Structure 1
C-alpha cells in the first residue's frame, strides 16, 4: 500500500510504540498460531463460519474493507486472539468463543449503527465516522 493511501483511512492509529526490548520468554513458549494474522483469520475462517444476510436497511451491515476501520481491527483482532487461545480447549472452547466473544463483537460490528455505518458489501467503504469528541480533563484529576 502506498503512503498516499494512508490519509484515506477512517482512523489512523496513534497508540504507543511497541517495545523493542528483549524477546518475551512466554511468547517463545506459546503454541504456533493457526492463522498467521487477523486478515487471514477473517478471510479464511470468520467470513465462512459467521455467515449473515447483509441488509443495511434491515439491521446488518459489513464493510469489505473492514481493515479501514480502527474499531473493526481492534474487535476482530480480539476475536482472532481469543479463537487462537480457545481452539486448544477440545471440550467447550468453541462454545465459549461464540458465547463470550464472537456473538458479542459481531453483533456490534454488523449493527447498522456500528463502525461500518455507511458501508456495504456491494458499494464498499463509504463515509467516515469521526472520533468521539474529547476534552482534556482538569489538571491533577488523574
Structure 2
C-alpha cells in the first residue's frame, strides 16, 4: 500500500513464490482488527474506528504491521523490539489528542477536523 492508501495487491504475494515463511496477517486491516485492537484496550485515548480515512493513520499502521511481520520471526527479542521501537512510538502518536485522529473518538467515531499542513513550492532549481 502506498503512503496515500492505495492498495498494491501484488505487494504481499512474495510469500507465494516460496521466498519466505509468508505473512501471518494477510493485510493491515486484519492486523489492526485481530491483533492491535484487542491488545490496546485503553479507554481515554483518541482513536478513529475509521482509521483507514486518515493518510497518516494508514501509513503508521502499515509500518507497524510490516515491522511486526518481520520481527515475529525472532523468537528471542522480536516482540520486545517491536514494542519498544515500533508499537510504543507509533501508538503514542496515533492515540495522541493532537495526533492524526484528532477529533475522532472510539465512541463517536470519525470526525474530519484535520487539514494537511500548508506548503509552498520551493524556488525553481533548488532541488535540481
Q: CA RMSD in A?
A: 2.5
Structure 1: gaps (5+ residues): 1-11
TM-score (norm 1): 0.77
Q: What are the Cα deviations for residues 25-72 of structure 1, in whole angstroms up to 9, with x where unaligned?
A: 79841321000000000000001122212x2xxxx2101111110100
Alignment size in residue pairs = 121
Aligned partner of 1:131 in structure 2 is: 116
Q: CA deviation at 1:84?
A: 0.3
More helix by share: 1
Whether 2:32 is the aligned partner of 1:47: answer no
After superposition, the Cα gap between the structure-2 partners of 1:71 and 1:26, relative to the gap in structure 1 and judged at 3 Å, is same
Q: Which residue of 1 aligns with 2:78?
A: 93
Larger radius of gyration: 1
SS at match of 2:124: coil
1:43-122 residue pairs with structure 2 within 5 A?
43-53=33-43, 55=44, 60-122=45-107
The equivalent of 1:8 in structure 2 is none
Residues 51-109 of structure 1 deviation map (CA, whole Å, 9 limit, x = unaligned) = 212x2xxxx21011111101000000000000000000000000000000000000000
SS of the aligned residue for 1:141 comes to: coil
TM-score normalized with structure 2 length: 0.85
